[in-house]
Structure 1
């Protein structure tokens, strides 16, 4: 499949922080280690305003067998556009622009209350009491020794935690996570890990790392299966109806996605929104693709 045609950055016409990210002078301050692709920590300055951001140049993307080369940055921007269209604001402002190492994705840095945990295994203690032991630094995920998630938590599945032991992986029964589960189903997110959940200091939940999204095949792989098969909320149905309108031919969202994903991927996106509205339920694992990403964080 050929890479999608690029559109000039100016056609996205963002406002506020996204405008600074798009038009500002981008300065690389360092590199974030541990990522599978090049991730650069930067500042961007425009008309007296300076923001901290992340820059992922296309040149630093590792090839994937199931995605066209050089398209991950554009997919991250497309995820932001869909998030904005929902009104939930789950993805930080994200733009596609030129930078010191060529064209790439630039995304606003989110200051968090706590850093994501490096491992889930360390969250389980041999003498764990009832209820989940929270993942260090991330109150939205946890592991439980036993078969019950406990009040305020939703079960995902059992995980190996070493020495022949298993624990129940759970996530918080949180409205913000439920909205994100809907967004992930819409964009067909193939890699929703715990480390991609950022509880901001402003009380909002942000989600990052959306390079492996919008595939035409079912790739949904996530930690947020706690509502699988359950009815969508009335709010989610309203949002999906709005998305369907925006994705119709000539719709605003469809126009904004041109050049970020392929026509076939845009049509598949419309199909996923339609299927969610038709079923009225959160999707369930297909069984044809690993349901939970590895490593989970």
Structure 2
């Protein structure tokens, strides 16, 4: 795939701070990601798939993003090859449809330095922090509960602690959703803290609204149809309905229920 710097991406990020303040309209961030020129900065040195830190330049604004090209995806025995970048975007679509804003803005790019791929806004966070370091913060329980429900709905097969970020403003973000949305049960997560507890009513109301949109909103269904198979969309709908019918955080299943490594 060519030669790029393996310099730690956090060090590069300090030199190119994210220029988009939190109040930037979402549409402007998505347009910046969708239309900006992608410039490779370095290869993120962990993970099984090729992941690049990039600069995105558009209309005088230069900032950071994460680029995951389809070409860099390693084959998996249980997921169709070449589909992980679509799943990254589908996770963002579902997060937005729920109204939870858990996943950083993420778009499909049909062309890039290494071909088609997913492009996601880079989140400036303390990389020494992860789910295990902040999970006991009482103020974060509502968002962490929503994250647990999000992983149930999307059938996330790889929720590591390091896939939960806290940005400089204290906001929680969820990243790395390439192996979600399988039609078979695949949930692997470190977030089992709420097992056996009833899902709060305010969260259920939000999930119910999402379920109605999923069934009736042609725009949402069209967005998902670009990214997932009909069977995967049907399974997403079935998982959401099952959660509403039995609104309790589950216990780990008989399969391997925790990812490795956990962070």
Alignment of 1:106-185 (within 5 A): 106-112=119-125, 114-116=126-128, 137-138=129-130, 140-141=131-132, 153=136, 174-185=141-152
Of 99, 111, 132, the residue aligned with 2:112 is: 99
Alignment of 1:4-23 (within 5 A): 15-23=27-35
Bigger fraction of residues in strand:
1
Structure 1 runs not aligned, ≥5 long: 1-13, 117-136, 143-151, 155-170
Question: 2:242 is matched with which residue?
Answer: 275
The answer to whether the Cα contact below 8 Å between 1:90 and 1:207 also exists between their aligned partners in 2 is yes
Q: Aligned with 1:102: secondary structure? A: coil
Instruction: Give 1:259 deviation, angstroms.
Output: 1.8
Structure number with bigger Rg: 1
Question: 2:262 is matched with which residue?
Answer: 296
Structure 2 runs not aligned, ≥5 long: 1-25
> RMSD in angstroms over aligned alpha carbons?
2.0
Instruction: Give 1:51 deviation, angstroms.
Output: 2.1
Query: After TM superposition, where is structure 1 displaced by more than 6 Å over at least 4 residues in a row?
Result: none
Deviation digits for residues 104-131 of structure 1, max 9, x if unmatched? 010000001x214xxxxxxxxxxxxxxx
Of 50, 57, 62, the residue aligned with 1:50 is: 62
Bigger fraction of residues in helix:
2
The answer to whether the Cα contact below 8 Å between 1:141 and 1:172 also exists between their aligned partners in 2 is no
The answer to whether the Cα contact below 8 Å between 1:55 and 1:107 also exists between their aligned partners in 2 is yes
| TM-score (normalizing by structure 1) | 0.76
The answer to whether the Cα contact below 8 Å between 1:245 and 1:251 also exists between their aligned partners in 2 is no
| TM-score (normalizing by structure 2) | 0.85
